[in-house]
Amino acid sequence: MNKFKRVAIYSSKNDKQILEIASHCIEVLKNQEIEIILTDNLVSLKKSGLKVYKNQNNLINKTDLIISIGGDGTLLGCARRYGFFGIPVLGINLGNLGFLADIPPEAISNSLLEVINGNYIKDSRFFLEANLTHKNKKFIALNEIVIHSGAIAQLIDYEVYIDSLFAYRQRADGLIINTPTGSTAYSLSGGGPIVHPGLDAITLLPMFPHSLNTSPLVISSKSEIKIVMKKNKSRAMLSLDSHDSLMLKAEDSLIIKKARSELTLIHPLGHDFFSSCRNKLGWSSSIANGSS
């Protein structure tokens, strides 16, 4: 595979651990004569030969790989800001689960050397695109789009259409619309199915529906979803990957579909989805512990 010659380093924070990991990455990359670019949060690490780009467009046009240091939340921000525009993303995991950011700090040297020398796995993930009727703007999400009632859980009334066909009307605490990437995130905690990232599918998961016969719905990623908000006594909110909190009003329509752009995740050789599930979710733990 292609070798990377210009590498950017990103983090949403700049605490001591982040700076130490970033410095380690810089050392490894410098020894391989890689051009290094820092994002604005890491400006304190600027030394001779290192560039800092505060302008998003400049960085997008000047790098062919970006390293995200943090947890999956940090990588989500990196994906939305840079990965959406075609820059491959490699994640160093300092969080808990790390389904997206999968290189542990102790493996940085070997894994980074392998990746920049062309030995890696490419993993494509699609984004969701949301268009709200009263906003002349498109919003994107890699994990999920969530309709909810805010800090206090209250029932929300809405209608769901799939490819212009009426699917159902529902009262629930909310609705999670997620990609396969998001199936191991918020949707998982709500009882949604784990969907292999290689599937072109979208899941709709009601949150505590006021019904006894409601189940998650899995549809083709080629489908267009329309959510129509009905008159609610409680307020309704929209969030995308836990960002962009927006108010929803009665009769607002939300159009959701697969975005044209895809995220390219870079993994070290040997990475596989089922291994991540075993390690992160405790699959086979009873066998490992010797239990029957």
Name the burial class of residue 114, with classes exposed (0-12), middle (13-18) and buried (19+) by CB atoms within 10 angstroms of its CB.
middle
Q: What angle do CA 201, 206, 211 make, to 5 degrees?
A: 135
Q: With the C-alpha atoms ordered 175, 177, 183, 185, is the resulting torsion angle positive or negative? A: negative
φ, ψ at 160 (rounded to 5°): -120, 130
Are 205 and 192 contacting, i.e. CB atoms less than 8 angstroms apart? yes
Pair 149, 173: CB distance under 8 Å: yes
Residue pair 158/230 in contact (Cβ under 8 Å)? The answer is yes
Cα(first)–Cα(last) distance of the chain, in Å? 44
Distance CA 143, CA 139 (A): 13
Catalytic residue flag (residue 72): yes
Q: Which of 15, 40, 72, 102 is catalytic?
A: 72
Q: Would you name the residues annotated as active-site residues?
A: 72
